[in-house]
Amino acid sequence: MKYLIPIALVLSLSGSVFAQAPGQMRVGVCLEAARFEAAQAAGFDYVEIGASRVAGLSEEEFQKLAADAGRLRIPVAAANGFIPATIKMVGPEIDKAAQEAYVSKTLGRLKTLGVSTVVLGSGAARRVPDGFSGEEAFGQLVDFCRRIAPLARDNGITIAIEPLRKQETNIINTAKEGLALVKAVDRPEIRLLVDYYHLSEEAESPDVLLEAGASIAHIHVANPKGRVYPLSADESDYGRFFRNLCAIGYKGGVSIEASTKNFEAEAPVAITMLRKGLACAAR
């Protein structure tokens, strides 16, 4: 078997995968591995991969993915879709051993790819069953996060809790609720993601960013009108969101998580719009 040097180790020799000029943030995109070279050509700073898909690969398939990722000039810096629906995080039928075995394997593979931030959205896996106590489910999420925190630490990975709109799950729907979970877990490896799309869908104020501050580890963005690529500053009220990110000194990644019918045409436009909006040092 051919053994690969972890890409994370290579990247660490030249600094953080999210290293950047002062006042700037890095713009990435969520998409399948087959489109990574297209993302690089479009001008993205990094790519964000699907974690559960990585976990489901055979060893041979994973080694090929790792080799392909190693040839990119941009890093595979983040991952989403962490926990599949088959591994429940809450409810009467959770299996802690299965949870931890899956997390250990998946984080190990993601470390090899160079991933430093893993998004914990996974709405189906955390959906509270009918008739089950919401308070108990919250406690189970706290326990789950505390148990996987050492695994994240050992792999040099930060877990970012993603609040999801009510249509996608029935617990942790707002950034304020996500922040409450992060505070309850109280581990440095467990932080918060704020997604502009979900924030808009839940009619939550962007001022929650000011409250969350340094707890924020990652950002997702999409035009909430159709959950498509953000292309123009006037299509939504991005300005307040961007200004608040600048105000808290956010230095992480901003990933587009959205659909597009013309990636090659829309990706460069979206990158330009986001970089202009996030150019804090220019203000």
For 220-257, what is each residue's pLDDT tens digit?
Answer: 999 999 999 999 999 999 999 999 999 999 999 999 99
Cα dihedral across residues 146, 121, 43, 248: positive or negative = negative
Q: Is residue 278 within 8 Å of 23, Cβ to Cβ? A: no
Q: Give the pLDDT band (50/70/90) at residue 280.
A: confident
Contacts of 104 (CB under 8 A, 6+ apart): 151
Q: Give the pLDDT band (50/70/90) at residue 5.
A: very low
Domains of the chain: 7-282 (3.20.20.150)
Query: Cα–Cα distances in Å, from 167 out to 163, 173, 198?
Result: 12, 9, 10
Cα dihedral across residues 83, 86, 89, 94: positive or negative = negative
Q: Is residue 119 within 8 Å of 193, Cβ to Cβ? A: yes
pTM of the model as a whole: 0.91
Token readout for 226 is: 């159709």
Name the percent of the chain lying above pLDDT 70. Answer: 90
Instruction: Collapse the DSSP code of 22 into the 3-class scheme (helix H, G, I; strand E, B; otherwise coil) and give the result.
Output: coil
